[in-house]
Chains A and B, each alone.
Chain A
Amino acid sequence: MPGSGTGTGNVPMAVKSTLDIVRQRFKEDEIVHYIFEAYQIQGQEYLDRLLALVSSESGGTYAIIAFSYLRTPLTTANELIINKVFALNESFQLRQDGKGSITTMQFDLSTAEDRPIKYYYYPLKSQEYEEFVAKVISCKNSMYKCDPEAVLNFSWLNDYRQIGEVKQELKKREAEYIVYKDIIIYCATWNVNNKPCCDSNSPLRSWLACSEKSPDIYAIGIQELDTPTKAMLNSTQMQATVEQWTQKMVESLYPGVEYEVLRSVRLVGIMLIVIVRKQLRQHILRCQLNSVARGVLNTLGNKGGVAISLQLHEGNICFVNSHLAAHMGYVDERNKDYNAIVEGMRFDDRRTISDHDHIFWLGDLNYRIQEPPGQQRPGPLTDAQTYELLLQYDQLGQEMRKGRCFDGYTEGEIKFRPTYKYDPGTDNYDSSEKQRAPAYCDRVLWKGTRIEQLAYDSIMEIRQSDHKPVYAIFRAKIKKRDEIKYKKVQEEVLKAVDKRENDNQPQITVETVSIDFGRVRFNEPSMQDFNVYNNCPLPVDFRFKEKDMHDICEKYLQVDPRQDSLMIDSARSIRIKLLVDVRTVGNLLKKIRTSDNFDILILHVENGRDIFITVTGDYQPSCFGLSMETMCRTNRPLSEYTQEQIKHLMRDESPEYQVTMPREFFLLIDYLHRQGSNLEGCFNAHDSRYSLGGHFNAVRDWLDTWSNEEFPGNVQTAAQALMLLLELPEQSLLEPFVEDLLASSSKSKAMDYIALLSAPKRNVFMHLCMFLREGILCQYYDLQQVALIFGRILLRGSSSSSRMDYNSRCIQFMRFFIDSDISDSALGNGHASGSGNIQAKSSTSATFSSSQSR
């Protein structure tokens, strides 16, 4: 096979030829007849294309399928990507037109469904090109020669096509469900010369009921409807005229059939009425009308055209009735009128006259018979010979042959006398002074497919006008759906379109949907990376989605990037950073208490799915952030607890505790207490609490292991750690009585609430105050300053924290407990609380001794 082995001369036998590979791309009953290497030019790029001429045995039809390659040379059929499919159907064209182009080695392929696609080929392939073209032409001819009427089945190509939209797909597969239905169309036209309808005693049946078979559709056009100036202004009178005519026509239709007026349209004296067989009415899916006025000033409408457009089953039919410019010499004006009607007629759906399958144009077209002056008629002629002679000089025929009007229209053979101009009431041509030459003014033409004219004649015995009425009967094969077949095709199309949409959904794959940080420690950052890939055939945008109006992730996590685009076949690494520090430990502990993961991120693919990415880790519990109650439930250093165990302790709400006060708190107070005068100024640096020094993690470990070693930090770090222990838990130490305590005016009143605190909180509070009071007494630090710092820590979370007097109230409260002057005077009021104080003191001492003995 030529074209197949090209360039493979040196390749060992084992390597498959291109043709073999292409064959694998098709089904068993599909035959690859020829392959041809071509290319396309897009911008600066040359894109290789392989054109395969293929036929299907079951379909009996041929097609050209254009492939692009994933790589050359080809090794498997999977490397062939279908680029375009051309069915060798009626509309298929292979056109070579290299005029004005950079190379003559080019050709266009096109079908009615698609724009032409330009292909080029290399000079070396000229010989093969000739063969390719010859094959294509002979294949196409072979299909259409045997039976030009046959409906060719190209449905096998559906497996290779890209699926378009539903409508487009249904249109493409029309051949699978369209059948043709014969419709008899009766067109009639009459210039009534302003004669009232009631003048005629004889019914119009001789004009409107001439067909052998009953017509399905009537299109009746009238010109010069009785329109006296008065009537033009008086719509009721006009309407009465129209109704009379309509009535008259309906009475005169083919007898024994029920008809219904579908619609009528009128422009001054030009009227068109479409009447359909009643049973057909339900199959008319669309009906629109419009008119184009011509005549005086090209706007008055005494001349012009009216039209009705309708869809019967799947066929679009248009009827036009026009009255064009009069008088022998006005051929150009008639042509202009015709063109103006064609140009100007637009229906509501923007359809033009030519956008119809079947067009019937009737009316008083006014073209005359222009015999050369001095023309002598040869001897006696038969009627037929006379008509033939006259028609030689018929302006319409002449203009049509010159291509000046009615391009593409057909008219049946005229075998009747000129229909104009008669003395009304007679069959005699104009005997008036004007002696108008007889003419074939009244005509019926058609344009479109599957139309056959059955009759074309005029009626001599209707005599009230100076024109004779004309009628033409047609049989048109209208496209109609076979509903069962259509349902099936539609179902398949919907399925295919849905499938395309589902398959083309943007997709990304993620390396993992669970990110495990492993061991996580307080104040130690860590990170994890994972990849996302785009392995779908289109670029994809992704972003992490916000959850319930909050951020995309918990505070202790950071995601980078938060959104991005991925080109086809590309990957992106996403980094998740985790830091549980003084700012975020509360969030993490809360999460651990209520959930078994650190977070779930929502990775959203634009126009696609959402992927949940679960972030987990194993948090090594630390004292920072834990509540006093939780710490009092521990019976060993926190470093010996697992996340799961601490979760249980955090959820525990029983009032049973292992110790009266957290050991970690006691250890810090104990250390600080022993520093004596070194404590000077240690509680003043309020803002630096959150910036932890390099030693801090050693202090953390010292506390979390109940270490017997020397305290690894200094006074500053110990003071900092103490304040963090009090500040980091979710609840402030004096909850749930913060508001009450801020409002307490005396120590005794405050003491009533303190007594209600949980034992760990109460003990911590009393012990802290005792420690601070001592320091103040020793003047290690300033009362006012310490009262403010600790007041704000212990009374945080108050709704009044933004009030002007919040600070002073914090100070006032703290002074009840740490200012020895005040507390002494206040004690007089509250003896009972005082004893509580002593009790707490004694109990904490007990704890200290036990811990110290370790």
Chain B
Amino acid sequence: MAKKTYDLLFKLLLIGDSGVGKTCILFRFSDDAFTSTFISTIGIDFKIKTVELRGKKIKLQIWDTAGQERFHTITTSYYRGAMGIMLVYDITNEKSFENIVKWLRNIDEHANEDVEKMILGNKCDMTDKRVVSKERGEAIAREHGIRFMETSAKSNINIERAFCELAEAILDKTSGRESAENPERVVIDRRNNDKAPGYNKCCA
């Protein structure tokens, strides 16, 4: 029996401007924790989280990228191979929202064509500092035909849901291709009930 403890492995990527909360979103999802100190990600980090969707154990390998502008040319080289991408902006930061278009263009240029995308408006707990309305977020998502959700890593709003929804969208896409991947349950085949199995084997 294979050693692997999951049925499927999905590689996901978090992108977006620096400081929008990509690392916090990942940290909340993987460790169910939050820290408010900002440590800029200088590179590419990843975490593992296994979720169960439709009876399948799906191992999510989530890559967290550096958001700083100077790293953009390097981080785009990590897009290829990602099956799902979370584009994150900060609802209290207009610029980070405007840049979503730029990030989308980056995806078009560098990611696989059939990559699943989702836009996240993070920090939705900070209502008094909000500058990007939910409607604008929904509008841009609709315009590009992608999923959208407002999240808060701090208050744990929609984080799990967002990842599961993205994973499910990928699952929908892959389910057609992976009929060979069989969980351990055996379908009992009763067509050959009356043969004497093992007989040949014993004579051999």
Contacts and interface: CB of A to CB of B under 8 A. Distances in A.
Interface of A: 165-167, 238-239, 242-243, 261-268, 284-293, 299, 301, 304, 306, 344, 349, 490, 494, 497-499, 501-502, 505, 513, 547-548, 595-597, 600, 602-603, 609-612, 614
A547 B44 CA distance: 14
A266 B46 contact: no
B49 A498 contact: yes
Contacts of A600: 70-71, 74
Given A293-B202, A547-B74, 12 more contacts: A264-B193, A265-B197, A266-B194, A266-B196, A267-B198, A291-B198, A494-B57, A498-B49, A513-B42, A513-B43, A547-B77, A612-B42
A127 to B, nearest CB: 46
30 contacts: A166-B50, A265-B198, A266-B196, A267-B198, A268-B196, A268-B199, A284-B188, A287-B188, A290-B197, A291-B197, A292-B198, A293-B199, A293-B202, A299-B203, A301-B196, A301-B202, A497-B50, A498-B30, A498-B50, A502-B30, A502-B48, A547-B74, A597-B70, A600-B70, A602-B74, A603-B43, A609-B43, A609-B44, A609-B45, A612-B43
A612 B196 contact: no
Nearest to B198: A291
Contacts of A238: 194
B31 A499 contact: yes
A68 B82 CA distance: 42
Interface of B: 1, 3, 5, 30-31, 42-52, 57, 66, 70-71, 74, 77, 185-186, 188, 190, 193-194, 196-199, 202-203
Contacts of B190: 261, 263
Q: What is the interface of chain B mostly: helix, strand, loop, or mixed?
A: mixed
Q: Nearest 4 pairs between A and B by C-beta?
A: A293-B202, A291-B198, A166-B5, A611-B43
A655 to B, nearest CB: 31
Residue among B30, B46, B197 with the highest chain A CB neighbour number at 10 A: B197
A595 B43 contact: no
Nearest to A281: B188
Contacts of A165: 3, 5
Contacts, number: 106
A777 to B, nearest CB: 53
A596 B70 contact: yes
Contacts of B188: 262-263, 284, 287
Contacts of A301: 196, 199, 202
A839 to B, nearest CB: 45
Contacts of A595: 70
Contacts of B48: 498, 501-502
Contacts of B57: 166, 494
A291 B66 contact: no
Contacts of A501: 48
Contacts of B199: 267-268, 291, 293, 301
A498 B71 CA distance: 29
A264 B50 contact: no
B95 to A, nearest CB: 19
Contacts of A291: 196-199, 202
**By CB atoms of chain B within 10 A, which of A261, A499, A612 has the most?**
A612
Nearest to B75: A612
Given A285-B185, A292-B202, A167 B47 contact: no
Given A285-B185, A292-B202, A502-B30, A264 B194 contact: yes
Nearest to B193: A264
Contacts of A242: 194
A306 B47 CA distance: 50
Nearest to B203: A299
A167 B5 contact: yes
A285 B186 CA distance: 7
A660 to B, nearest CB: 38
Contact of A265 (B5, B185, B196, B202): B196
B9 to A, nearest CB: 12
Nearest to A290: B198
Nearest to B32: A495
Contacts of A603: 43
Most A-side CB within 10 Å, residue of B45, B70, B71, B199:
B199
B71 A497 contact: no
B20 to A, nearest CB: 18
A242 B194 CA distance: 7
A261 B188 CA distance: 12
